[in-house]
Structure 1
């Protein structure tokens, strides 16, 4: 068996060269739905497991992830893992402790790789209903998991309750499932599926369900605020804003006011 595990997410391929047997088995199991064979990855990353590795001093608060661009190089650091990737040439190195895993690094990597091909990693719930994709985006606590839970109860396909990729596709936009979990639906499957986006919805709590129009500038700002790992650097931030403008020009973006029951689908259906 090859040491290289090749993942394809939203059409973007990354190869992980892993010689550590335990980590290789974990990655193959966790990301099984997204593993492809006999391809040519856009980026090849050698993964080295190092006992006792520590990269960021422990501190209180949210889990620390440090990431920035140095020219063509993506730099990533967290408590137990660190990496650099030459985005232009498509190769890099990830070092991590045995108690760590590759997931946070992959999130950062795919957020950056996506920008190069018109794709945005977005904090959003993704739902496929009647072959159409619906993307509900917002900050933590905005209701993404609630939306996803109602969708699953109704028999719709849930791509995620926390992260999806939205990607330009000619004059339209597609939403893709990703293998990352981070929301509250820990039992949700990692669905390798995509659909053409019918609507993008900025979430807002309200006493009754309704849709409100968003000015294009507001829609762009709301989308960009939900793009993780790519807004700290000015060059990446400019790319995000341009991409969000393109998305808004292709797909309706509305504010969805909802009161945490499944009746919000009625107002979406009525809008067509």
Structure 2
């Protein structure tokens, strides 16, 4: 299949999103550069979503809006940029401000990925994903808990993403996937990686370095709290809880007490063996 003009295809996890810049072709190259590790060829079957970009109203700063949920997707209403996702039609459109089109398009795509993942048995999850020996490790916690610090202290280990990853159960267990989303202060993803998920580690900044067993209830609450977008839609509450319970039943989870050096990796590797 030939590459359509002014369009690119983004491979995120197990699905592909087509991003159409026909209305604003000057946005194509900057967006392709941002998502370079995650670009893919046109698929042989229709992509999960076809999203059209259109010029919006100029703004003085980028805006991360909360979506309004609809029966088939979400809308983002003015003031500022606007957009819509219709998962029944597998389409969407967004009108970001021209001076912040990268940041606002990126946010729109994050929401699209969160919902598409949930609709296909997965989760978008706030965590740093690090690849070690072909296995995936998740480090999660509230903003400021240390996810980016962990990524920077992980040396030659590949950073799947230091803030947002995708998770999905497969026949052999849960798999973690990197995502293309990052902010200027974060570690840029090393590539488009996926790996079996072997440990989940809730972050606790400390002077001592050790792993602490956490109660299933505490772990479940933390996991649910770190699922963006979906956790704000009451219609998804029961399924979200069920899916997170399945996750913590199948993947070992600990609280990682760490200080700002790489000594935590020795503790993790000793436990993993």
Could you tell me the TM-score, scaled by structure 1's length?
0.89
Q: Cα deviation per residue 1:108-127 (whole Å; 9 max; x = unaligned)? A: 11011110112221111111
Contact 1:82 1:94 (C-alpha < 8 Å) held by counterparts: yes
Counterpart CA distance in 1 for 2:201 and 2:246 is 16
**CA 1:216–1:78 in structure 2 vs 1: closer, same or farther (change >3 Å)?**
farther
- d(CA) in 2 for partners of 1:24 and 1:75? 23
**Equivalenced residues, count:** 263
Identify the residue that residue 69 of structure 2 maps to in structure 1: 69
CA RMSD of aligned residues (A): 2.1
CA gap 1:36/1:64 in 2 versus in 1, 3 angstroms: closer
In structure 1, the gaps of 5 or more residues are none
C-alpha distance in structure 2 between counterparts of 1:184 and 1:31, whole Å: 16
Aligned pair partner of 1:28 in 32, 40, 44: 32
Q: Are 2:202 and 1:199 aligned?
A: no
Q: Is the 8 A contact 1:200 1:253 kept in 2?
A: yes
- Partners in 2 of 1:78 and 1:196 — Cα distance? 41
Listed as ranges, the matches of 1:204-243 within 5 Å are 204-243=204-243
Aligned to 1:137: 140
Is 1:46 matched up with 2:52? yes
Q: Secondary structure at the match of 1:65?
A: coil
Task: Name the CA distance, whole Å, in 1 between partners of 2:229 and 2:77.
Answer: 12
Q: After TM superposition, give the deviation of residue 53 of structure 1 in Å.
A: 5.1
Secondary structure of 2:230's match? Answer: coil
C-alpha distance in 2, partners of 1:37/1:92? 20
| Aligned 8 A contact 1:123 1:226 in 2 | yes
- Indicate the structure with greater strand content: 1
Paired residues of 1:66 and 1:78 also in contact (CA < 8 A): no
Q: Mark the runs of 5 or more structure 2 residues left unpaired by the alignment.
A: none
- Is contact 1:131–1:195 with CA below 8 Å preserved after alignment? yes
The whole-number CA distance in structure 2 between the counterparts of 1:11 and 1:179 is 13
User: Which whole-Å deviations, capped at 9, do the CAs of 1:208-264 have from their partners, x for residues lacking one?
Assistant: 111111222222211111112222110133332222112112211111111222111
